[in-house]
Structure 1
Amino acid sequence: MRQKIQADVDAPLPLENIYRSPSLWAWIIDHHLVVATFPRAEIHVWNPTAAAIWLLLSEDKKTIENIACDLHDVFQETSANIYSDLNMCLTQWVTNQWLEVDENNYYSIHPKITESRPDSLVKTPRNNHEVIFDHSYSISGNQFSLIISADKESIADPFVSRLTSLADGFQHAEDRLGQELHIIIQSGNIYVGKINSNYKKFDIPAEALNYCIQYFLSISAGESNHFFTLHAAAIGQDNCILLSGVSGAGKSTLCALLSLRGWKYFGDDLVGLSLNQDGEGLIVPLPSAISVKDNNWGLISSYYPELNTFQPVNYGEKTARFLPLRHSEQVQDGEKEINAIVFPRFSLNSQLSFEPISAIDALGELVTAGISLPQEMDPADIEIFFKFIFSVSLYRLEYSDFEEANAWLSTLVIK
């Protein structure tokens, strides 16, 4: 039987927009403060105490003593607890440049207007690099070529092995058709663009990787578009489930094992979320190779012996092998409706347990796991994202037995 806890889509959302400026929007959602900053397009979730502090500051500028007195009237908390929370919020918000403090120590909401970071576009970098990778792929029936060049010092750059390992999950194409993405790595910088055209320059590998993934997502969708990129895996049947969580929660391992039980695979680690104006969420498939961390190699290789044939890839403090799912019945093309978001956690010898969670708890978990938003996103698009969170089933899952987890997750999708 299909389980679903879904909000009435015609009912007003339990959110209130309490502040708008060119660089910051703030909402109260389920008594919590949610802040989105622009143009960096970041989301921050704060607790009910922070929400009360923000509401007090929105009335007028106040000293810390004024705010503490008002908070005591609201929460009836001890002064020590009030000042601890208050100092933490005010210090962080001043650091974030959301507040100003005048010479009389009055705090006021006055977000600094941040200029958009201009794209660092350059002509083709000087030609002291050579092609080290050239391969054609197909995603959702759309072909493209990935070409990587590097100077002698950058041939072994971890960025190369991570990107090519991810791409190994895409369907390989024999013919060179469609677009070409050219990446040049030299002198500590990464340049992404098209041959004989302008290149975008990155000095942070993670930003370059995210840019490439956004490009892959646009290929999957068949058009240029803006996507939320979530740190999650996506599996399903006629519709799909997002498995989200911080690194190490076990979502990639669960995704690899579920694919052996007839689940369709839509992507791992980073997935694209496309939203329409009604708040309906669609997964944009990105069937990259599954990232299997070193502590799970033994488990996964017992199901996928070929895992041991792939070279380990080091990035940051992590070591992983990337497992392509090459079976056509597993890897799926085309956007799929999202039916639920589940936050799984593997716990050795634990009993299967699951509980529905609130939209604000789910939002906090998604932010903690990692959300990348398009730089050009309009603030109103954030509210569409909130509408999506309120419209799907939301669960926290703890398990130790994979078959039990599989049986329960099967109740959340339409087959």
Structure 2
Amino acid sequence: PGSPPPDDGLDLILTPQATIVRCGPRILRTTDEAIAAGKLRLWLLDLAYRDPRPAILIHGAALALPAGAMVLAGISGAGKSTLSAALVARGWRFGTDDSVALGFAEGRARVLPCPGAISLKPGSLAPLAPFHPGLAALPLVGAGAKQGRYLALPPHLHLSGRGAESDVLGFIFPRFVAGAPTRVEALSPSQALLGLMEAEFDIGEAAGAPELDAFLDLVETVPRHAVTYGDLGEMDATLRALLADAAAQAPAGR
């Protein structure tokens, strides 16, 4: 594992030939904007969080209630952003809908929030209309498959990263199927790990074997569910019930 970066900030340099990201002695030069954006986010998290440090990054979303947080993992197009926008309108705290950073300390797994605007594709407009009536008035940004609207959330809806609400209580693998009834399936640790691998997760640059062991222990000990749904309102109720059950099962003093 690399050593923690110094407190001298983060530089983003755009040239006609390449994008350069620099954090202390670490430098990335690339022509791929997605790679640059991913590294920029990773090093930003490194600078923002020192105890615990970002150890695992999961392609997914993190939503929380006062009792704790759920990690919603899935491949692109699984509907995580649409679901996140609906849940926030129903009172959930928003951690991220892109790459969930987890840190481990004192036997606890915590979401290290990085809440940006939620990127919503045109197909999200109709199902989200009851939750965000002004969504259609937001400008379309981008082109082609990347075109969408960006829903900025006020700070009071952000996950704070402090207290019990940031403790990871479970993993959810959501799948939207139009018109389908809500169906919940409990997953084994191995099934959940396969789902996380399909969604993609990575190890932080400052993490090593202890953090990976802690992550695998987390996958084995917290509840894990695949949820198929066709109604966002029903999904809110379902996730609240799953979170309440997970909180009741969590060890005392977590």
TM tier, smaller: 0.7 to 0.9
Within the candidate set 407, 411, 415, 2:237 is matched to 407
- Whole-angstrom distance in 1 between the partners of 2:129 and 2:150: 12
- The Cα shift of 1:303 comes to 3.3
1:194-343 equivalent positions in 2, closer than 5 A:
199-221=27-49, 225-238=53-66, 239-276=68-105, 278=107, 280-301=108-129, 303-304=131-132, 305-306=134-135, 308-314=137-143, 317-326=145-154, 328=156, 330-335=157-162, 336-343=166-173
Cα distance in structure 2, aligned partners of 1:388 and 1:322: 32
Residues 172-192 of structure 1, C-alpha deviations (whole Å, 9 max, x = no match): xxxxxx964321121331111
Instruction: State how 1:12-411 maps to structure 2 within 5 Å.
Output: 180-193=9-22, 199-221=27-49, 225-238=53-66, 239-276=68-105, 278=107, 280-301=108-129, 303-304=131-132, 305-306=134-135, 308-314=137-143, 317-326=145-154, 328=156, 330-335=157-162, 336-375=166-205, 377-411=207-241
Change (3 A) 1:277 1:188: farther
How many Å separate the matches in 1 of 2:71 and 2:170?
6
Whole-angstrom distance in 2 between the partners of 1:219 and 1:307: 36
Q: Aligned partner of 1:401: which letter?
A: D
Deviation of 1:223 (Å): 6.0
Distance 1:360 1:256, change over 3 A: same
Partner Cα distance (2:193, 2:26) in 1: 37
The 1-side partners of 2:110 and 2:234 are apart by 27
- The answer for unaligned runs of 5 or more in structure 1 is 1-38, 40-115, 117-177
1:376, distance to aligned residue in structure 2 (A): 5.0
Deviation at 1:198, TM superposition (A): 7.4
**DSSP-derived class of the 1:233 partner:** strand
Q: Tell me the SS of whatever aligns to 1:360.
A: helix
Look up the SS of the partner of 1:303 in the other structure.
coil
Q: What does the per-residue CA deviation read over 1:130-173, in whole Å, with 9 as the maximum and x for residues that have no partner?
A: xxxxxxxxxxxxxxxxxxxxxxxxxxxxxxxxxxxxxxxxxxxx
Q: Which runs of 5+ in 2 are unaligned?
A: 248-254
Between the aligned partners of 1:318 and 1:186, the Cα distance in structure 2 is 23
**What SS does the aligned partner of 2:53 have?**
coil
Q: Cα gap change, 1:331/1:222 in structure 2, threshold over 3 Å: closer, same or farther?
A: same
CA gap of 1:298–1:220, structure 2 versus 1, over 3 A, is farther
8 A contact 2:125–2:135 mirrored in 1: no
Quickly say closer, same or farther: Cα 1:308–1:284, change in 2 above 3 A: same
Tell me, in whole angstroms, the C-alpha distance in 1 between the residues paired with 2:204 and 2:189: 22
1:383/1:322 CA distance change after superposition, 3 Å? same
TM-score (norm 2): 0.81
Q: Which moved more, 1:362-371 or 1:206-215?
A: 206-215
* Residue 378 of structure 1, CA deviation: 2.5
Residues 220, 284 of structure 1: 8 Å contact kept: no
* Aligned alpha-carbon RMSD (Å): 2.8
Is the contact made by 2:55 and 2:206 (CA closer than 8 Å) also made in structure 1?
A: no
* Mapped contact 1:236–1:265 kept (Cα < 8 A): yes
Q: Provide Cα deviations, 1:221-275, integer angstroms capped at 9, x if missing partner.
A: 2569343111111111121111111111111111101111111111111111112
Amino acid at match of 1:272: A
